[in-house]
């Protein structure tokens, strides 16, 4: 018998005689090595993954392949599905369920879509479980049945966290389970409109031999939850752990399988949290929600511009305020620059919240077009408040903050700079200039420097002066003088 099994494992598919006649096929069992970071598969073990260049992430898994015959177009409900012209498909507007949290609704694109699968990622301790437990309680309070499944905490521990946050509702059901078969049974029994899975790395299927949290387990469990969401019309939120590189643990395929991917960002030792959508099939991926962690959980921040500017220093060189668009919301943030002579070797270029290449490009433009000798200067730039900015409209504010620090000359505290800077030193137009200027006027700013091409077609609010500039040198003259 042992010799027979060795022969089978070595030579692949084993043909057996079908009792009804003909030849049949037994399962073909193979061993493969899968990277636990990116999902790269290999027939042999390697110390370094060729896909993501990570060391010691290849884990052995067993792959079972079965030969399937007579495959047809069959949906998960068992009905036969045929191709049809797109013009014959009846289009329906997706209904949405409000979370009663305006910031979360904004990021989701207007609310929760029934039958959607949403992945929430973030660093440990950032507040993912707190946010989802609050979401569950708020929906339960408006008579929406919610099932909260925790694979990391017991039911009593979840109850303690709910008591600390002062959350309670008869429509909120809790369960501590990691077997996906039992979880699907609980969903059928409770019939909820929302299911929370905390977290996907703890859920497992018995048919898969690898440990919970492996690539195979995460992938298959996510696919199972996707089938449940689509067939039963229940919205499912799953929590995904984040690796030290900042990406969701498991293969990148996981992000392609879900409908939306939300990242919860922020410093663990600071009270403010930022929720971003990096993928959303039902809305924009540029939206941002801001929360503040307090004793009773996360609270929405109605006006984030005030928070980002509340600790701004007055009369400090290298500080410039910019109006950036985060989705459909204008946000005013402070850009800080520190330019100092280099001590030795090559000059350093460091940026927090900004693209390092963008900073180097703008410093080259300042040196060439504005006559500033920056090649022997160290440059350190930061976006105050922990926000990450990547749109072209922040170019002018970056350049002005560098120029202000280089000259050691403070800017006017009531100025706001908006504009894209070209390689020839021109200031190019940006989008939604009226919303940006209106936000600056609401917070009491007196003057805004914008591209000359953006001055027409809209009316500036009262109490704020709008100055149009065409070149970077002209903008420096307006803000800092000659």
pLDDT in tens, 144-183: 999 999 999 999 999 999 999 999 999 999 999 999 999 9
Taking only the tens place, the pLDDT of each residue in 359-403 is 999 999 999 999 999 999 999 999 988 788 989 999 999 999 999
Question: What contacts 332, CB < 8 A, 6 or more positions away?
Answer: 305, 308, 309, 321, 322, 323, 324, 416, 439, 440, 443, 445
Same domain, 294 and 335: no
Is residue 332 within 8 Å of 439, Cβ to Cβ? yes
Query: Does 77 map to a domain?
Result: no
Boundaries of domain holding 287:
102-302
Domain count, the chain: 3
Residue 407 lies in a domain: yes
Percentage of residues in the chain having pLDDT higher than 90? 57
49 and 129 share one domain: no
Q: Are residues 212 and 188 in the same domain?
A: yes
Q: Is residue 74 part of a domain?
A: no
Which of 281, 302, 323 is a domain's end point? 302
Is 88 inside a domain boundary? no
| Whether residue 122 is found in the same domain as residue 255 | yes
Instruction: Give the integer Cα–Cα distance in Å for 136 and 147.
Output: 8
pLDDT score for 359: 95
Q: Domain boundary at 47, 65, 83, which? A: 65
Q: Does 51 carry a binding-site annotation?
A: no
Contacts of 26 (CB under 8 A, 6+ apart): 13, 14, 15, 16
pLDDT of residue 61: 75
Helix axes 472-480, 395-407, angle to 10 degrees: 50
Ligand-binding annotation for 123, yes or no, is yes
What is the rounded CA–CA span in Å between residue 346 and residue 375?
A: 9
Q: Are residues 314 and 264 in the same domain?
A: no
Residues 461 and 347 in one domain: yes
Residue 126, marked binder = yes
Closest by CA to 171, choosing from 150, 196, 190, 149, is: 190
Say if residue 245 is in the same domain as residue 134. yes
Q: How far apart are CA 248 and CA 238, in angstroms?
A: 12
pLDDT of res. 72: 43
Q: Among 255, 284, 302, which residue terminates a domain?
A: 302
The CATH code of the domain that includes 274 is 3.40.50.300
The reply to whether 82 falls in a domain is no
232 annotated as belonging to a binding site for a ligand? no
Asked whether residue 84 is assigned to any structural domain, the reply reads no
- Are 180 and 238 contained in the same domain? yes
pLDDT of residue 340: 94
Please tell me whether 415 is known to bind a ligand.
no
Do 292 and 408 sit in the same domain of this protein?
Answer: no
pLDDT digits (tens, 9 = 90+) for 111-137: 999 999 999 988 888 889 999 999 999
Task: State the pLDDT at residue 385.
Answer: 80
Q: Is 127 annotated as a binding residue?
A: yes
The answer to whether the pTM exceeds 0.85 is no
CATH code where residue 329 lies: 3.30.230.10
Residue 27 CA: distances (Å) to CA of 5, 11, 64, 109, 334: 13, 13, 6, 45, 62
338 lies in some domain: yes
Quote the tokens at residue 358. Answer: 């963008």
Residue 371: its pLDDT value, please? 92
Same domain, 225 and 139: yes
157 and 140 together in one domain: yes
Same structural domain for residues 285 and 318?
A: no
Which residues of the chain fall below pLDDT 70?
Answer: 1-30, 62-80, 243-253, 267-269, 482
Residue 463 domain-assigned?
Answer: yes
């Amino acid at each position: 018998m042992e010799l027979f099994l060795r022969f089978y494992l070595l030579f692949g598919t084993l043909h057996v005689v079908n009792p009804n006649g003909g030849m049949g096929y037994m399962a073909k069992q193979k061993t493969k090595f899968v990277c636990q970071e990116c999902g790269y598969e290999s027939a042999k073990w390697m110390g370094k993954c060729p896909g993501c260049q990570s060391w010691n992430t290849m884990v052995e898994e067993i792959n079972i392949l079965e030969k399937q015959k007579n495959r047809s177009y069959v949906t998960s409900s068992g009905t036969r599905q045929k191709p049809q012209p797109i013009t014959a498909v009846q289009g329906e507007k997706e209904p949405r369920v409000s979370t009663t949290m305006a910031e979360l609704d904004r990021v989701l694109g207007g609310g929760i879509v029934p039958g959607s699968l949403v992945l929430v990622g973030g660093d440990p301790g950032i507040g993912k479980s707190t946010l989802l437990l609050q979401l569950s309680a708020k929906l339960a309070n408006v008579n929406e049945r919610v099932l909260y499944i925790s694979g990391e905490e017991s039911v009593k521990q979840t109850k303690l966290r709910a008591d600390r946050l002062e959350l309670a509702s008869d429509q909120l059901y809790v369960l501590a389970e990691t077997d996906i078969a039992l979880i699907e049974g609980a969903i059928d029994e409770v019939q909820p409109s929302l299911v929370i899975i905390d977290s996907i790395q703890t859920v497992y299927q018995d048919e898969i031999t690898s440990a919970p949290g492996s690539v195979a387990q995460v992938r298959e469990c996510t696919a199972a939850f996707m089938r449940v969401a689509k067939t039963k019309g229940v919205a499912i939120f799953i929590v995904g752990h984040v690796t030290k590189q900042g990406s969701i643990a498991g293969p990148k395929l996981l992000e392609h399988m879900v409908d939306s991917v939300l990242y919860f960002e922020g410093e663990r030792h600071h009270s403010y949290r930022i929720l971003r959508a990096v993928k959303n099939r039902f809305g924009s991926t540029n939206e941002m929600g801001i929360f503040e962690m307090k004793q009773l959980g996360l609270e929405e921040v109605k006006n984030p511009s005030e928070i980002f500017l509340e600790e701004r220093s007055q009369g400090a060189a290298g500080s410039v305020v910019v109006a950036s668009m985060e989705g459909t919301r204008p946000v005013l943030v402070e850009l800080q620059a520190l330019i100092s002579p280099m001590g030795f070797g090559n000059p350093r270029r460091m940026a927090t919240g900004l693209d390092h290449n963008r900073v180097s490009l703008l410093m080259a433009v300042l040196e060439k077009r504005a006559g500033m000798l920056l090649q022997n200067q160290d440059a350190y730039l930061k976006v105050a408040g922990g926000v990450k900015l990547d749109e072209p409209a922040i170019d002018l504010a970056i350049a002005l903050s560098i120029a202000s620090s280089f000259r050691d000359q403070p800017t006017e505290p009531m100025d706001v700079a908006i504009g894209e800077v070209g390689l020839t030193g021109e200031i190019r137009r940006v989008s939604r200039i009226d919303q940006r200027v209106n936000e600056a006027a609401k917070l009491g700013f007196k003057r805004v420097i914008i591209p000359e091409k953006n001055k027409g077609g809209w009316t500036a609010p009262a109490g704020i002066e709008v100055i149009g500039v065409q070149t970077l040198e002209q903008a420096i003259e307006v803000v800092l003088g000659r």
